[in-house]
């Protein structure tokens, strides 16, 4: 079943994505940004609300707009696009708050793990990394495309 998601705009370098969340509390411009970390080839994914008045992105906001699943499905579409243009990249992500990290876990469980055979997903626990399992509280995640050695 095709998941409902928002129409998305994309930057020329395929690292910034934007869409408009429409729901109970109005319209919110969401931005998904992939930025390189200190480890070469490893990108951090950030999701935030863009404020057109201040021209700032709030990475801690809670819009509570009643469209969580549609937003998560849209972020997954952004991941597919990012990997299409950066197939060797690995994406590292964690929530800006524990609630948001939990949201990412739900998003991965619902929209990524079961809907794609293309990705490998790992979760970080206090003592190290393991393959992503549902219902486990991770502090961060790694998402990458499967490669030849799988």
Partner 1 sequence: MVYDDSLNLGEQNKPCQVKIDQANYMLKNNNVFDAVRKIKEKERSTKP
Interface residues toward partner 1, by CB under 8 A: 7-13, 15-18, 31, 33, 35, 37-39, 41-42, 44, 46, 48, 50, 55-57, 59, 77, 81, 90, 92, 94, 96, 120, 122, 124, 128-131, 139-140, 142, 144, 149
- CB within 8 Å of 106: residues ≥ 6 apart: 72
The answer to whether 136 and 109 have CB atoms below 8 angstroms apart is no
Give the nearer residue to partner 1 in terms of CB position, either 18 or 109.
Answer: 18
Q: In the complex, what is the shortest distance from the CB of residue 135 to partner 1, in angstroms, rounded to a whole number?
A: 19
The answer to whether 101 and 94 have CB atoms below 8 angstroms apart is yes
Give the nearer residue to partner 1 in terms of CB position, either 66 or 139.
Answer: 139
Q: In the complex, what is the shortest distance from the CB of residue 24 to partner 1, in angstroms, rounded to a whole number?
A: 25
Q: In the complex, what is the shortest distance from the CB of residue 59 to partner 1, in angstroms, rounded to a whole number?
A: 4
Give the nearer residue to partner 1 in terms of CB position, either 48 or 65.
Answer: 48
- Name which of 111, 62, 116, 120 is nearest 89 in CA terms: 120
Give the nearer residue to partner 1 in terms of CB position, either 41 or 66.
Answer: 41
The answer to whether 101 and 124 have CB atoms below 8 angstroms apart is no
The number of beta carbons lying within 10 Å of the beta carbon of residue 72 is 22
Cα 106 to chain center, whole Å?
11
């Amino acid at each position: 079943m095709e998941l409902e998601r928002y129409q998305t705009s994309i930057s020329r370098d395929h690292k910034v994505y934007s869409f408009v969340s429409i729901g109970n509390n109005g319209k919110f411009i969401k931005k998904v940004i992939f930025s390189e970390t200190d480890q070469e080839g490893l990108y951090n994914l950030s999701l935030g609300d863009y404020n057109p008045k201040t021209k700032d992105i709030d990475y801690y906001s809670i819009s509570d707009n009643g469209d969580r699943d549609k937003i998560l499905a849209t972020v997954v579409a952004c991941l597919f696009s990012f990997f299409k243009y950066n197939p060797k990249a690995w994406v590292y992500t964690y929530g800006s708050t524990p609630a948001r990290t939990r949201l990412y876990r739900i998003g991965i469980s619902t929209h990524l793990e079961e809907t794609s055979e293309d990705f490998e997903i790992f979760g970080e626990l206090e003592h190290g990394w393991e393959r992503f399992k549902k219902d486990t509280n991770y502090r961060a995640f790694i998402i990458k495309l499967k490669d030849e050695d799988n």
